[in-house]
């Protein structure tokens, strides 16, 4: 059985790590290069770096900062935010990223997923899906969660898989920053439906939440931010706990 992955997320705004609740009320969480090194040293399996206002501000992800982070760590590193062309992917991979995450641009131009997968290989293309439940239906949101679409989350997840995405980063906007647990139901639904790994994001607040998203949610990886940034749950302790609960992890 493949080991489950623990992935800290660095949400970047103006060169600093930030964290909010339901995608708003952002507060400073530290220097991204320092945090990245700490997580790498603690045994995180991967790292995700998202320039959360890049699409909104029509800026490109800070390639210089990507290079600094890549030099500080020795684990796989996914970068997203403002990625909208094949050239953007090339720049970030050259800056030190191992995988690239796209969200808003993929919704606007779904063919980009095909183009990027063809050019660089599915293994380094992650499609991020920000989902919110509206009157019992899960809808995709773009532009850092600010813009609702008419795309149903499950249908979009199926399409991006068919177009060549190598992984899906599924963030529940309803659970984000609440520390009430991951959105296990929709995570399990999409995990069962697809042949590619699903990273669950949004809602981590305790060690049992991770156990539940791996067992009930069928996630391949779990991503969290504030509980790691503010030292509420050390990664080594989390992995020991998961191992004791029968969840396969890399120690």
Domain that includes residue 232, residue range:
5-244
pLDDT over 90 at 217, yes or no: yes
Q: How far apart are CA 210 and CA 215, in angstroms?
A: 9
Q: Looking at the predicted structure, is the pLDDT value of residue 21 above 50? A: no
Is pLDDT above 50 for 22?
no
Res 162 pLDDT > 70:
yes
Q: Residue 24's pLDDT is what?
A: 46
Distances (CA, A) of 227 to 20, 100, 138, 198, 205: 12, 24, 26, 21, 7
> Does residue 186 form part of some domain?
yes
- Flag whether 250 is in a domain: no
pLDDT, residue 61, reads 58
Residue 161 in this model has a pLDDT that exceeds 90: yes
Lowest mean pLDDT among 78-87, 96-105, 211-220: 78-87
Q: Which of 38, 31, 94, 29 is nearest to 61 (CA)?
A: 94
Integer Cα distance of 65 and 152 in angstroms: 34
pLDDT score recorded for residue 35 = 87
pLDDT at 60: 58
Evaluate whether residue 215 is within a structural domain.
Answer: yes
pLDDT tens per residue across span 126-139: 999 999 999 999 99
Give the CA-trace dihedral at 8, 14, 20, 26, to 10 degrees.
Answer: 150
Domain with residue 41: its CATH number is 3.20.20.70
Evaluate if residue 232 carries a pLDDT over 70.
yes
User: What percentage of the chain reaches a pLDDT higher than 70?
Assistant: 89
Predicted local distance difference test score (pLDDT) of residue 176: 83
Q: What is the tally of structural domains in the chain?
A: 1
Q: Comparing 81 with 215, which gets the higher pLDDT? A: 215
Average pLDDT over the chain, rounded to an integer:
89
| Structure tokens, 129 | 């899906």
Strand 24-30 to 16-21 pairing: antiparallel
Instruction: Give 67 or 226, the one with higher predicted confidence.
Output: 67
pLDDT of residue 2: 86
To the query of whether residue 130 is one of the catalytic residues in this protein, the response is yes
pLDDT in tens, 171-208: 999 998 789 999 999 999 999 999 999 999 999 999 99
| pLDDT of 56 higher than 60 | no
Q: How many CA atoms lie within 13 A of 148 on its CB side?
A: 9
Residue 251 lies in a domain: no
pLDDT in the model for residue 23: 42
Which of 45, 130, 138, 220 is catalytic? The answer is 130
pLDDT confidence of residue 11: 81
Alpha-carbon distance of 97 to 50, in angstroms, equals 12
Q: Is 28 annotated in the active site?
A: no
User: Does residue 249 lie within any of the structural domains?
Assistant: no
Q: 170 lies in a domain?
A: yes
pLDDT confidence of residue 208: 98
């Amino acid at each position: 059985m493949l080991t489950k992955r623990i992935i800290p997320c660095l949400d970047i705004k103006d060169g600093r790590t930030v964290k909010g609740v339901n995608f708003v009320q952002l507060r400073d969480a530290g220097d991204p290069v320092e945090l990245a090194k700490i997580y790498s040293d603690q045994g995180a399996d991967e790292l995700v770096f998202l320039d959360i206002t890049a699409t909104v501000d029509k800026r490109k992800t800070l390639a210089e900062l990507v290079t600094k982070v890549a030099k500080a760590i020795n684990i796989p590193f996914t970068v997203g935010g403002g990625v909208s062309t094949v050239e953007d992917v090339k720049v970030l991979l050259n800056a030190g990223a191992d995988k690239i995450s796209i969200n808003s641009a993929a919704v606007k131009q779904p063919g980009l997923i095909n183009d990027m997968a063809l050019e660089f290989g599915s293994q380094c293309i992650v499609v991020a899906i920000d989902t919110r439940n509206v009157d019992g239906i899960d809808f995709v949101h773009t532009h850092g969660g600010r813009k609702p679409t008419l795309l149903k989350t499950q249908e979009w997840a199926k399409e991006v898989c068919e177009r060549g995405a190598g992984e899906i980063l599924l963030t529940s906007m309803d659970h984000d920053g609440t520390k009430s647990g991951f959105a296990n139901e929709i995570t399990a639904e999409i995990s069962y439906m697809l042949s590619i790994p699903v990273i669950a994001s949004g809602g981590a607040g305790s060690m049992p939440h991770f156990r539940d998203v791996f067992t009930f949610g069928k996630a391949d990886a779990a991503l969290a931010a504030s509980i790691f940034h503010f030292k509420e749950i050390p990664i080594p302790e989390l992995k020991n706990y998961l191992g004791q609960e029968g969840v396969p992890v890399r120690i």
